[in-house]
Structure 1
């Protein structure tokens, strides 16, 4: 939204989203996972506005990403690389189902 509505370049928009998402206080029982999900969402939001044109599409990508993150939560330790991979696979799966790849 920062990029499409206020013409903020993609990388600073994603960085701002990740920074803001990292300081949102969540209960300790979630162990930083909501903050990581916001950060992963900032990666997914960096895809082209030509590929994703509506909020419903972002909601579907967020659902796919949340599901992938939850499924891989105990599979890999730490967050390094996993968040970007989850974002990439979420967008790629959505575009594959939409018929936008290939």
Structure 2
């Protein structure tokens, strides 16, 4: 049986997306069959307000910030989840990057 693939979704400043993708690809994300470095992303506007105690890479504590970001989706083998998330957190410029992992259902439950 082929290992189950889940989906990692994260948000990245547009200028950082290539570097973050390179890190998660190197950790095992983005492979589907004979294809590697597979990703889907779209540009939108991210918003956040750094609170007291934050050390923002972009923006100023107490002030709302809006900037162009990519929403990125890549597949991850379940066995690589820990390594891929470590790579994401290491490569991402934000102090607290937003991300989530979606566990996929078996294509054929039988």
- Report the structure number with the largest CA radius of gyration: 2
Greater fraction strand: 2
Greater fraction helix: 1
Larger relative contact order (Cα-Cα within 8 Å, sequence gap ≥ 6): 2
